Structure formats: C-alpha cells, structure tokens
Amino acid sequence: MSRPTTRLRSWPLSFLYYILPFAALKPLAKVGWRPTSRVALYKTIPTRLLSRAWGRLNQVDLPTWLRKPIYSLYIWTFGVNMKEAAVEDLHQYRNLGEFFRRKLKPQARPVCDSHCVISPADGKILHFGRVKNCEVEQVKGVTYSLETFLGPHTWAESIALNRNEDDPTNFQDILVTKEGNALFHCVVYLAPGDYHCFHSPTDWRVAHRRHFPGSLMSVNPGVARWIKELFCHNERVVLSGEWAHGFFSLTAVGATNVGSIRIYFDKELRTNLPRYSKGSFNDFSYVSNNNQEGISMRKGEHLGEFNLGSTIVLLFEAPKDFTFNLKAGQKIRYGEPLGTM
C-alpha cells in the first residue's frame, strides 16, 4: 500500500486520538492498534488537503438569506468585533473568504509614531526577547533552530550581511551587521477571530522572499507547546531586508485552513500547492538592475493577509539597549508598540 493511501486511511483514527482522552481509546489498543505518540499521529492528518478544500469552500458564494446566520455564528464563537469592520452589514460579504479578509475602519487602529517597531497584526504575544545560541522560542521552553527557520544564508547577496565563509556554523552572527547590536525576535499569534491582514511593523526595505512549502499544522499555542520546531515544519513565507539598524525580517507562517498566504506586492507568490518536496524552498529577489532598493515599506502600510489566522514571526537586528514593552500571553492590536530604544 502506498504511503499517501496509508496516511489517508489512518488519519480519522489519528484525529480521534488527538481530541479524545487516552482512556476512551483503550478498546482500540486491545485489538492491536498501538499509537506511538499524539505528535506522530497528528502529523498523519492530511492538513494540506483539508486546507485546500477549506480554501475552495471559502470562495463559494452564499445565498443572501444564509449569510447572516453563518457569519453570526462565527462572530459569536470567536468573539469578532464587527463594529471595527469597514463594512458592518453581514449581507455584503458574499462568501466566507471575503468575511475572513474584512478590512477595518480607517481610524480603528492608530499607528504609534513614538516607537520604532509596532505590532504587524492583531493577536497574542507568544514569545519575545533576544535570540541566543541560534535558537528561538516559539513558546516558553520550546525552541526551534534559527537557521532551519530562515534557511541557508544564500539570500545574503541581496542584503549587506556579514558572510563569514570560514565559520559556517555562526549563523546568528551573520545576521548582526553592526557592532553593538543584537538579534531580537517576537512571535504574534493570530486567532480565527482576529483581523486577518498584517502590516509593515517598521520603515524598512524588503530585498528578498523565501517560500518554504511544508505542513499546515495548527499553530495554536497549545499545539506549539508540544511540537518542537513547529514553525520550521509549517509552510511559511520569509521576507528579509534591512531597516535603520540593520537586518530585519518578517515571516508569515501558515497553519491548518490557512494555506493561502498573500503578499500584496508579490503577484508571483503561490502557496499551498498540491505537490512539493520536503525541505525545499523557493527564492525570489526584489532587487534587480531596474530596482536596486527592493520594496520600500512604511510603518503601518498594508503588507499581506491570511485566509483565517496564523502566526507572524519578527526577527531583527537592533542596538542592545532595545527593550520590549510586552508580556508573554498579552493581547495586542496592529499599530501598538512592541518596543523602543
């Protein structure tokens, strides 16, 4: 039996094992079913296939009479604040996709001018701080490799980074281009009820895009606690460039039912395709003979969107006196300050 067929046949049991307590599935163990771990079983669920199906369902126009009941149920379930939406009338959203990608009223999210870095999205702060030993925390106590997350530094040709060919393991130092600086990170989790667009967190120049096809596992904080390197397994789009203090990157991480990641200025990007090679990535440079600067982004400018909700990871270089004004687990809104110097 082929591996894909085995995976498709096993995922219903895997799903049950994931959502039910251990004791409820003891009868299955008596007939010879021996699960290795919830993590391994969860990975057998065809999340990419389910996400593509969900994406197509989102584009199906709903009858006018059915729109308000369906959207109202979603609003009630996830606590959506429709008073902030540019269009409050639920009948105006033809399908679920339009509802998920709803825009906000112009003054709903004032952008902080007194801080150099703002939150790129509405969500919850999962973790933040300095990057140490090339490891980054996705939630407290659970880490992932910086190099695995960003990929090899071949993209450094588009950015003025410190490429030291004699010390290939010193990946973190490559990203720190100025003396007296350090590398910082911040993880923002977007829940299904949050505003799904994301914005530029600072004034910067985007020079390169790297797209990693991958899994589409849930990035819910509960799941992130028990799957090590979850963000490295999932499909993601890494935007890299420079700001006033050196290296800067924003990564949009896909999740279950969020296979579609859209970057507004990148019409070539295609995510959650049916086939991909595990561990592969696709590079694209925004720097060319006709455009030596790449894509200039202003703080607060529209940058992209998810179809449902997911995670934004910021990795950036800044002076060592940079300080986050945050608490892990706090709710934050797009435009609010992350930190200052």
Active-site residue flag, 203: no
What residues have CB less than 8 Å from 54, skipping those under 6 apart? 257, 308
Q: Is the pLDDT reported for residue 312 higher than 50?
A: yes
Question: Once rounded to an integer, what is the mean pLDDT over residues 35-46?
Answer: 59
Do 282 and 103 touch, CB atoms closer than 8 A?
no
> Per the residue annotation, which of 51, 122, 194, 266 is the catalytic one?
122
| Active-site entry in 185, 196, 199, 211 | 199
Find the mean pLDDT for residues 31-54. 60
| Amino acid 40: pLDDT | 63
282-298 mean pLDDT: 86
Residue 199 annotated in active site: yes
pLDDT tens, residue by residue, 62-83: 999 999 999 999 899 888 999 9
The predicted pLDDT at position 252 comes to 92
Determine the Cα–Cα distance for residues 259 and 235; give it in Å rounded to an integer: 8
Question: Residue 21: its pLDDT value, please?
Answer: 42
The pLDDT tens digits for 101-130 are 889 998 889 998 888 899 999 999 988 999
Q: What is the pTM of this model?
A: 0.82
Q: What is the pLDDT of residues 228-241, one digit of tens each?
A: 777 777 888 999 99
Q: What is the mean pLDDT of residues 274-296?
A: 81
> Which one of the listed residues 119, 200, 260, 310 is annotated catalytic?
310
257 pLDDT above the threshold of 90: no
pLDDT tens, residue by residue, 178-222: 888 999 999 998 888 888 899 999 999 999 999 988 777 767 666
- Helices and strands, counts by H and E, the chain: 10, 17
DSSP code for 194: S
Mean pLDDT of the chain: 79
Higher pLDDT, 291 or 64: 64
Query: For residue 27, what pLDDT is reported?
Result: 56
Tell me how far apart the alpha carbons of residues 118 and 326 are, in angstroms, rounded to a whole number: 11
DSSP assignments along 198-261, one per residue: EE-SSSEEEEEEEEE--B-----HHHHTTSTTHHHHB-EEEEEEEETTEEEEEEEEP-TT---E
Binning pLDDT at 50, 70 and 90, where does residue 3 land? very low
* Residue percentage of the chain with pLDDT more than 90: 34
For the segment 128-149, the average pLDDT, to the nearest whole number, is 79
Q: d(Cα 187, Cα 221) in Å, to the nearest integer?
A: 11
Assess whether pLDDT exceeds 50 at residue 19: no
